[in-house]
């Protein structure tokens, strides 16, 4: 095919949900996608970054046996590609380790591109594992010039994108494993549209989808024409195969009308590498797939559901168990778990103490009925009394304080872990980001669990999500009283969260400013917050670091989450 003659090139974007280290399973996904793309008449199929290993493979990359098995998997796939071409994200060992993209056609690897920008901030550690490439790669596939980038490469205008623009590419293929946080997809599309318009080239962005530990990948693979307009978009948080017909002539005509690349510095560029590939017969034009973008609460809900589902299923847990207090956090966690796993895979446990109100007991009962999940009743009064009796000689003469409150939380944690041990089900911790930030949680108590879905969800966002889910259901799936009643841990008579914390409407903006944006005291005071409250909250956040280190991982939702994103020393006297 030659560009400029009205001939289009059909491209498939294989948006896959891979599992880190599952080379055989990932190979199967790639092979199936290639067959579907061939059947759809795709001349080129683009896959996500490191699709064979899953992303991020972390210290698996330090194992020599992993290197050997990855190379063998790539060669096996290449031998099966006899029609069209594919660009597959892979690990390459050549005196060092590279994050690479292999161009495959005619049963063999014909060219390899090495990622040039290695992110080493936030959740990324690529400089720990990879050596950066230093050369652009442009391939000629059926007369279409295709430049290759890998994820971080495309986020900067120079030199990777500008090199490809100077080379006059018709299409920029970007293989990506771009972790999600709320709102990132919109930012990413704005950036990609700019790259397409600046380079006067179509941009084909293929992103990973699914959960991997605390990270979630949203997919949302997208194609932009040479003017920066979106012409195709895949699903969010679900595997997809996006088929799109690209007219390379749009790029050529735009370069003539708006010759932006003439102003780029002249660079020595190798001639495009001609890829030998057999054409795929195409009879009809591809139907354009342009999925709509989710609204904010819907997007966050879908991201949490995807994270829970994949953590549980990919790690082969038969289901989850959740302590249901009657409060909003456990109710929201249970509703998310049911949407992610189905009611049959979710078990609730009600563990009332002498301080638990009838309203809390009733709300837990109503919630379990609404969600159609099993509910076990395990009163803890006798368990707590046994703990206190055993400790009485040690505590003789000491007044009752938070210690006795925490015994209740730890009794509940012990029961939940016993159920987990017996059934194999994963305990979902129900704490939110507001509580985790300031340490308003009990180590080995309500922090017990293997996964914390709300770990990066503020209390105010908890309420927004609960109201959104009820509106979607058209009924109070989560009992209204769980949402409207003042939050309380019910570990002593008439206890409220505001006895120990500022109101969440005041607390959450301080946490966001300090944790997510690194604002100091003066900057937060300038935003209208009380100085003494700001200083108190900051001290609480830093003192709780040792707790968070021992708590379960959870889903990254904000631009800066605790864990991989924010790494503070436990022993730390700077404030």
Regarding whether 262 and 343 lie in a shared domain, the answer is: no
Q: Is residue 527 part of a domain?
A: no
Q: How are beta strands 240-246 and 108-114 bridged, if at all? A: unpaired
Is the model's pLDDT at 6 over the cut of 60? no
359 close to 387: Cβ distance less than 8 angstroms: no
Q: Nearest-CA neighbor of 155 among 118, 181, 103?
A: 118
> Kind and range of the H or E element at 89?
strand 85-93
Secondary structure (H, E, C), 465-523: HHHHHHHHHCCCCCCHHHHHCCCCCCCCCCCCHHHCCCCHHHHHHHHHHHHHHCCCHHH
Residue with tokens 């594992």: 129
Is 310 within a domain?
Answer: yes
85 within 8 A of 103, measured Cβ to Cβ: yes
Query: Are 79 and 184 contained in the same domain?
Result: yes
Question: Tens of pLDDT along 545-563?
Answer: 999 999 999 999 999 999 8
Strand 108-114 to 97-105 pairing = antiparallel
3 confidence band (pLDDT: 50, 70, 90): very low
Domain boundary among 497, 531, 547: 497
What's the token pair of residue 109? 């690897």
Identify whether the C-beta of residue 82 lies closer than 8 Å to the C-beta of residue 61: no
CATH number of domain containing 82: 3.60.110.10
User: Cα separation of 529 and 540, whole Å?
Assistant: 16
Among all residues, which ones are annotated catalytic? 49, 115, 151
Residues 208 and 350 in one domain: no
Total residues belonging to the chain: 575
Q: What is the DSSP string of 184-246?
A: HHHHHHHHHHHHHHHHTSEEEEEE-EEEETTEEEEB--EEE-TTS-EEEE--BSS-EEEEEEE
Provide the domain count of the chain: 2
pLDDT > 80? residue 284: no
Q: Which residue has the tokens 């009283």?
A: 481
Confidence of residue 264 (pLDDT cuts 50, 70, 90): low
Tell me whether residue 290 is in a domain: no
Angstrom distances, CA of residue 115 to CA of 97, 102, 134, 168: 11, 11, 8, 20
Q: How confident is the model at residue 283 (pLDDT cuts 50, 70, 90)?
A: low
For residue 401, give both structure tokens. 């304080």
- Split at pLDDT 50, 70, 90, the class of 483 is very high
Quick one: 160 and 26 in the same domain?
A: yes
* Residue 227, Cβ density class (10 Å: 0-12 exposed, 13-18 middle, ≥19 buried): middle
Asked if residue 313 is part of any domain, the answer here is: yes
Q: Is the pLDDT of residue 269 over 70?
A: no
The answer to whether residue 511 is domain-embedded is no
Question: In sequence order, what are the beta bridge partners of 113?
Answer: 101
Structural domain containing residue 82: 9-274
Structural domain ending residue among the three candidates 463, 497, 531: 497
Residues 234 and 303 in one domain: no
For Cα atoms 24, 234, 195, give the angle at the middle one, nearest 5 degrees: 105
Position 550 in a domain: no
Closest C-alpha to 348, from 359, 337, 358: 337
Question: CB atoms < 10 A from the CB of 122, how many?
Answer: 16
The domain boundary, picked from 497, 516, 539, lies at 497
Do 261 and 300 sit in the same domain of this protein? no
What is the structure's pLDDT at 163?
92
Prediction pTM value: 0.94
- Rounded to the nearest 5°, which phi and psi values hold at 524? -70, -35
Q: Same domain for 216 and 322?
A: no
Q: Are residues 379 and 479 in the same domain?
A: yes
Whether 291 maps to a domain, the answer reads no
Which whole number is the average pLDDT over 406-432? 97
Mean pLDDT over 256-264 rounds to 70
Same domain, 185 and 140: yes
For all residues of the chain together, what is the average pLDDT?
93
How would residue 253 be classed by pLDDT, with cut points 50, 70 and 90? Answer: confident
pLDDT at res. 312: 98
CB–CB of 117/103 below 8 Å? Answer: no
pLDDT at 267: 67
CA 233, 235, 236, 240: dihedral to nearest 10 degrees?
Answer: -120
The model's pLDDT over 157-186, given as tens digits with 9 standing for 90+, comes to: 999 999 999 898 999 999 999 999 999 999
- CA angle, 416 then 418 then 424, to 5°: 90
Contact yes or no for 111/76 (Cβ under 8 A) = no
CATH number at residue 353: 3.40.50.620
Mean pLDDT of 513-534: 96
Angle at 123 between CA 329 and CA 443, to 5 degrees: 40
Token reading at 238: 């679900």
Identify the bridge partners of residue 175 per DSSP, sorted by sequence position. Answer: 150, 206
Q: Give the residue from 448, 464, 375, 435 showing the smallest Cα distance to 409.
A: 448
> Tens digit of pLDDT for each residue in 222-245?
999 999 999 999 999 999 999 999
- Tell me: the pLDDT tens digits for 70-92? 999 999 999 999 999 999 999 99
What is the per-residue pLDDT for 262?
66
Give me the sign of the Cα torsion angle 191, 192, 195, 200.
negative
Nearest Cα neighbor of 219 from 86, 310, 148 is: 310
Residues 6+ apart with CB under 8 A from 380: 351, 352, 353, 408, 411, 412, 415
Q: Cα(487)–Cα(458) distance, rounded to whole angstroms?
A: 13
User: Within a domain: residue 524?
Assistant: no
- CA–CA separation, 34 vs 156, rounded Å? 30
Residue 258 pLDDT greater than 80, yes or no: no
Reported as a single tens digit per residue, the pLDDT across 333-390 is 999 999 999 999 999 999 999 999 999 999 999 999 999 999 999 999 999 999 999 9
User: What's the confidence (pLDDT) of residue 248?
Assistant: 86
User: In this structure, what DSSP letter does residue 142 have?
Assistant: T
- In the block, tokens 């509940």 appear at 412
pLDDT digits (tens, 9 = 90+) for 287-329: 788 999 999 999 999 999 999 999 999 999 999 999 999 999 9
Report the alpha-carbon distance of residue 383 to residue 376 in Å, rounded.
16
How far apart CA 313 and CA 316 sit, in angstroms, is 5
Residue found under tokens 């990609």: 192
Rounded to an integer, what distance in angstroms lies between the CA atom of residue 279 and that of residue 493?
75
Percent of the chain surpassing pLDDT 70 = 97
Q: Do 312 and 265 sit in the same domain of this protein?
A: no
Tell me what percent of the residues of the chain surpass a pLDDT of 90.
85
Please, are residues 40 and 243 in contact by the beta-carbon 8 Å criterion? yes
Pair (102, 166) in one structural domain: yes
Question: Is the same domain home to 255 and 316?
Answer: no
Give the pLDDT of residue 573: 84
Predicted pLDDT of residue 420: 98
């Amino acid at each position: 095919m030659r560009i400029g003659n009205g001939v289009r090139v059909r491209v498939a974007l294989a948006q896959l949900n891979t599992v880190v280290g599952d080379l055989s399973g990932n190979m199967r996904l790639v092979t199936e996608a290639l067959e579907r793309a061939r059947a759809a008449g795709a001349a080129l199929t683009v896959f996500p970054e490191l699709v064979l290993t899953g992303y991020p493979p972390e210290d698996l990359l330090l194992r020599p046996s992993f290197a050997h098995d990855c190379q063998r998997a790539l060669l096996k796939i290449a031998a099966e590609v006899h029609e069209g071409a594919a660009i597959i994200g892979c690990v390459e060992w050549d005196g060092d380790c590279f994050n690479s993209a292999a161009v495959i056609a005619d049963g063999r690897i014909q060219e390899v591109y090495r990622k040039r920008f290695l992110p080493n901030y936030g959740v990324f550690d690529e400089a720990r594992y990879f050596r950066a490439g230093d050369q652009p790669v442009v391939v000629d596939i059926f007369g279409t010039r295709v430049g290759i980038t890998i994820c971080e490469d495309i986020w900067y205008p120079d030199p990777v994108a500008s090199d490809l623009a100077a080379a006059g590419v018709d299409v920029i293929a970007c293989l990506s494993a771009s972790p999600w946080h709320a709102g990132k997809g919109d930012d990413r599309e704005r950036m990609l549209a700019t790259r397409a318009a600046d380079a006067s080239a179509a941009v084909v962005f293929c992103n990973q989808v699914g959960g991997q530990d605390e990270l979630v990948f949203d997919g949302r693979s997208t194609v932009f024409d040479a003017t920066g307009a979106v012409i195709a978009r895949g699903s969010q948080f679900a595997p997809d195969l996006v088929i799109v017909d690209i007219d390379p002539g749009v790029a050529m005509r735009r370069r003539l009308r708006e010759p932006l690349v003439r102003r780029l510095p002249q660079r020595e560029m190798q001639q495009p590498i001609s890829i030998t590939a057999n054409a795929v017969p195409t009879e009809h034009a591809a139907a354009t797939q342009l999925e709509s973008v989710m609204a904010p609460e819907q997007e966050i809900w879908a991201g949490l559901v995807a994270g829970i589902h994949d953590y549980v299923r990919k790690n082969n847990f038969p289901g989850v168990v959740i302590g249901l207090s009657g409060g909003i956090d456990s109710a929201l966690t249970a509703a998310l778990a049911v949407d992610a796993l189905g009611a049959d895979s979710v078990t609730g446990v009600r563990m009332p103490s002498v301080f638990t109100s009838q309203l809390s007991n009733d709300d837990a009962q109503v919630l379990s009925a609404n969600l159609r999940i099993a509910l076990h009743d395990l009163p803890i009064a006798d368990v707590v009394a046994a703990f206190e009796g055993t400790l009485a000689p040690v505590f003789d003469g000491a007044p009752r304080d938070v210690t006795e409150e925490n015994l209740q939380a730890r009794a509940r944690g012990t029961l939940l872990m016993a159920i987990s041990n017996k059934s194999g089900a994963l305990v979902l911790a129900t704490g939110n980001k507001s509580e985790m930030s300031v340490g308003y949680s009990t180590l080995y108590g309500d922090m017990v669990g293997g996964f914390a879905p709300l770990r990066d969800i503020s209390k105010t966002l908890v309420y927004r999500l609960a109201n959104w889910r009820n509106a979607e259901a058209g009924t109070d799936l989560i009992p209204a009283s769980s949402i409207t009643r003042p939050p309380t841990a019910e570990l002593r008579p008439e206890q409220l969260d505001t006895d120990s914390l500022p109101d969440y409407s005041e607390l959450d903006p301080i946490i966001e400013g300090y944790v997510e944006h690194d604002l100091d005291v003066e900057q937060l005071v300038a935003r209208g917050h009380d100085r003494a409250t700001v200083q108190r909250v900051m001290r609480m956040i830093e003192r709780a670091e040792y707790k968070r280190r021992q708590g379960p991982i959870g889903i990254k939702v904000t631009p800066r989450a605790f864990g991989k994103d924010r790494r503070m020393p436990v022993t730390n006297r700077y404030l």
